[in-house]
Amino acid sequence: METNRDRIEVFADLAVMSGLLKAGDAIPAAVQIFAESVVAECAVLGDDYGSEDETAGDQIRASLLTRD
């Protein structure tokens, strides 16, 4: 996947690939919340990798949990 994509676009594309949505459908709030929850759990795993200044978890959060 490309870097610097809109997080909602990423979540929608993943939902389409997994059969939860049809292409072009709006992403339901429940699917967005689920995606954000998975991202948050993955970010916790990444907190052990990186430096004191920035971890992999920090980068994941910045990319996929930053509010619009």
CA angle 65, 46, 30 (to 5 degrees): 35
Q: Dump pLDDT digits (tens) for 24-58.
A: 999 999 999 999 999 999 999 999 999 989 999 99
* Per-residue pLDDT, 3: 62
Q: Locate 37 and state its tokens.
A: 């929850």
Mean pLDDT (whole number) for 1-26: 88
Provide the residue range defining the domain that includes 23. Answer: 7-64
pLDDT at 56: 96
pLDDT at position 32: 93
Residue 1 maps to a domain: no
Q: Are 29 and 15 within 8 A, CB to CB?
A: no
Please determine, for residue 1, whether its predicted confidence score (pLDDT) is greater than 60.
no
* Structural domain count, the chain: 1
Say if pTM beats, i.e. exceeds, 0.85. no
2 occurs within a structural domain: no
